């Protein structure tokens, strides 16, 4: 029996009532939770008591931001549980990864834990108690609720998750934690051969298919080819940018909604889609502040350089104005669905996914990922990746299973987009057709790989 399920169902019932709140009701709730978090942090965290010294009465926007580097450096002073130490948690995570421990089992019977991928050299380590972990599971359950997926004792929700089985990754811990007779769960490694993934899905026949966004096109292609034979009621993507071409292919393959989510290890779900297709912020779980590179607030409708998040349920590791280097844009209008939760209009990409390339007027210009989305996306519908080479040259890798892509046209589109962004026309650009794109050890496929490759980041 899943011992977390009763608490999760109770929490889920409580949060469903918030959908009927007014905007002012939601803001009052958020204000109370924020005040409780700040008081807890000042009383229990040695680091935050010093970091926020003399700022007890200051508005949130006046508190200093916290980076992942700061969190990891002062982890032992930030944590509010005296028995926890970063070195102990790191060691336990390493042991779990090596021996394949069931990630749903709490460490010492009371702590759930996960780590970010560490592809930046800035590994993040996070720990939650039972109450916090129930909040995280409830945030993922809301994704299904907002998507209109019915679940109950008479309607068990068979769920297939194609991401990673690495026991240190939050998606693996969540997948293992929700597994029950109510939610039979199949967890599949995205790094497994596609034929093996297809066979597992065919045997399981999920009502709900959840996958990395980069797995959507390969699975949809397998369905259209007839090797994959599943009929999910909904398809949900996560952890990576959802490409429009892949979404269209999936809708054609299954004839159901493909819903995107925006989440992070540090926060759990930040936003997910309503039935009308709007990405709504989980403002009762996470307070978000879009800011520019100098941490100044960015107006709705404008693209932010990064996002500051305050996780309202965080207590073991209080996260207040924690920096995510995601570039986002909030909508200027409410969704017609009538939800009190604001709309996240776009997740543009990661700030560190931008490239510094030789400029037309000398020096260098920063090119955002949207340039490549616009140039390559419509032409390479099976997938693509841009890798920066030594000397600022670019390699555009495009998945071309049938050898039908017009490679010169793709190169011309990339060159035109780069020139429009101020890049020198002399920058070397090569287009390489491939049968598939390499994945990280966690099964992800970054769209933009700056030079050197160790400087890339991936939201885990």
- The tens digit of pLDDT for each residue in 24-65 reads 999 999 999 999 999 999 999 999 999 999 999 999 999 999
pLDDT band at 69 (very low <50, low <70, confident <90, very high): very high
Among the ranges 171-180, 360-369, 370-379, 395-404, which has the highest mean pLDDT value? 395-404
* Boundary-marking domain end, from 307, 328, 350: 350
299 falls within a domain: yes
Query: Is 233 or 2 the better-scoring residue by pLDDT?
Result: 233
**Can you say whether the dihedral through the CA atoms of 329, 235, 126, 355 is positive or negative?**
negative
* Percent residues over pLDDT 90 in the chain: 57
Task: Return d(Cα 368, Cα 327) in angstroms, integer.
Answer: 10
* Boundary-marking domain end, from 307, 332, 350: 350
- In the prediction, which pLDDT does 90 show? 92
460 falls within a domain: no
pLDDT band at 199 (very low <50, low <70, confident <90, very high): very high
Same domain for 295 and 192? yes
* Boundary-marking domain end, from 315, 350, 385: 350
Task: Return d(Cα 129, Cα 147) in angstroms, integer.
Answer: 28
Residue the block writes with tokens 């769920």: 159
Among the ranges 235-249, 283-297, 360-374, which has the highest mean pLDDT value? 283-297
Mean pLDDT rounded to a whole number for the chain: 88
Query: Is 176 or 288 the better-scoring residue by pLDDT?
Result: 288
Q: What are phi and psi of 331, to 5 degrees?
A: -75, 155
436 falls within a domain: yes
Half-sphere exposure of 242 (CA within 13 A, CB side): 24
- In the prediction, which pLDDT does 457 show? 38
Average pLDDT over residues 331-358: 85
Q: Which two tokens stand for residue 352?
A: 């560190």
Task: Return d(Cα 298, Cα 88) in angstroms, integer.
Answer: 39
Among the ranges 163-177, 232-246, 311-325, which has the highest mean pLDDT value? 311-325
Same domain for 281 and 421? no
ω into 452 cis (within 30 of 0): yes
Query: Is 357 or 350 the better-scoring residue by pLDDT?
Result: 357
- In the prediction, which pLDDT does 89 show? 94
Encode pLDDT of 100-153 as tens digits.
778 888 999 999 999 986 444 478 999 999 999 999 999 998 998 888 887 766
Task: Return d(Cα 48, Cα 317) in angstroms, integer.
Answer: 10
Q: In this structure, what CATH number is given to the domain that contains residue 24? A: 3.40.50.12780
* Percent residues over pLDDT 70 in the chain: 94
264 falls within a domain: yes
> Which residues span the domain enclosing 69?
5-350
Task: Return d(Cα 87, Cα 74) in angstroms, integer.
Answer: 12
- In the prediction, which pLDDT does 173 show? 87
- In the prediction, which pLDDT does 58 show? 96
Neighbours of 94 (CB within 10 A): 12
- Range of lowest pLDDT (9-13, 39-43, 104-108, 202-206): 9-13
Dihedral Cα 44, 46, 52, 54, nearest 10 deg = 90
Task: Return d(Cα 286, Cα 270) in angstroms, integer.
Answer: 6
DSSP assignment of 103-127? TTSPBTTTBEEEE---TTS---EEE
pLDDT band at 2 (very low <50, low <70, confident <90, very high): low
Domain count, the chain: 2
- In the prediction, which pLDDT does 329 show? 93
pLDDT band at 307 (very low <50, low <70, confident <90, very high): very high
Q: Which two tokens stand for residue 118?
A: 């560490």
Task: Return d(Cα 377, Cα 178) in angstroms, integer.
Answer: 35
Same domain for 233 and 363? no
- In the prediction, which pLDDT does 458 show? 38
Same domain for 378 and 252? no
Average pLDDT over residues 300-310: 94
Q: In this structure, what CATH number is given to the domain that contains residue 445? A: 3.30.300.30
Same domain for 160 and 192? yes
Encode pLDDT of 396-434 as tens digits.
999 988 888 999 999 999 999 999 888 999 999 999 999
* Residue 9 CB contacts under 8 Å (≥ 6 apart), including other chains: none
Q: Which one, of 162, 130, 148, lies nearest residue 16 by Cα?
A: 148
Residue 262 has pLDDT above 50, yes or no: yes
């Amino acid at each position: 029996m899943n011992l977390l399920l009763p608490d999760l169902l109770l929490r889920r019932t409580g949060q469903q009532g918030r959908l009927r709140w007014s905007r002012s009701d939601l803001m009052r709730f958020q204000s109370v939770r924020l005040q409780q978090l700040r008081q807890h942090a000042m009383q229990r965290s040695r680091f935050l008591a010093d970091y926020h010294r003399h700022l007890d009465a200051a508005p949130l926007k006046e508190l200093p931001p916290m980076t992942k580097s700061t969190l990891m450096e002062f982890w032992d002073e930030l944590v509010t549980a005296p028995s926890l130490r970063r070195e102990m948690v790191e060691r336990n995570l390493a042991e779990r990864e090596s021996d394949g421990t069931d990630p749903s089992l709490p460490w010492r019977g009371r702590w759930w834990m996960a780590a970010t991928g560490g592809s930046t050299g800035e590994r993040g380590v996070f720990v939650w108690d039972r109450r916090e972990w129930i909040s995280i599971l409830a945030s993922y359950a809301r994704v299904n609720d907002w998507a209109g997926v019915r679940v109950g004792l008479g309607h068990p929700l068979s769920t297939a998750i194609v991401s990673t089985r690495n026991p240190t990754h939050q998606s693996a811990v969540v997948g293992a934690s929700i597994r029950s007779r109510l939610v039979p769960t199949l967890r599949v490694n995205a790094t497994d051969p596609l034929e093996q993934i297809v066979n597992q899905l065919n045997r399981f026949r999920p009502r709900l298919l959840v996958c990395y966004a980069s797995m959507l096109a390969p699975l949809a292609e397998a369905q259209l080819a007839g090797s994959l034979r599943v009929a999910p009621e909904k398809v949900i993507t996560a952890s990576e940018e959802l490409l429009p071409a892949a979404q269209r292919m999936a809708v054609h393959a299954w004839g159901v909604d493909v819903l995107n989510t925006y989440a992070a290890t540090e926060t759990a779900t930040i936003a997910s889609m309503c039935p009308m297709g709007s990405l709504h912020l989980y403002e009762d779980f996470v307070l978000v502040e879009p800011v520019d590179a100098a941490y100044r607030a960015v107006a709705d409708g404008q693209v932010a350089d990064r996002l500051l998040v305050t996780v309202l349920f965080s207590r073991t590791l209080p996260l207040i104005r924690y920096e995510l280097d995601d570039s986002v844009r909030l909508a200027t209008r409410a969704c017609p669905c009538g939800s009190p939760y604001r709309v996240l209009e776009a997740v543009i990409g990661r700030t560190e996914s931008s490239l510094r390339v030789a400029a037309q007027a000398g020096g260098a210009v920063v090119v955002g990922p949207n340039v490549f989305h616009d140039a390559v996306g419509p032409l390479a519908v099976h997938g693509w990746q841009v890798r920066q080479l030594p000397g600022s040259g670019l390699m555009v890798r495009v998945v071309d299973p049938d050898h039908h892509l017009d490679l010169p046209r793709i190169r011309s589109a990339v060159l035109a987009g780069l020139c429009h962004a101020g890049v020198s026309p002399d920058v070397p650009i090569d287009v390489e057709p491939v049968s598939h794109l390499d994945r990280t050890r966690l099964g992800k496929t970054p769209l933009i790989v700056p030079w050197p490759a160790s400087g890339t980041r991936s939201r885990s």
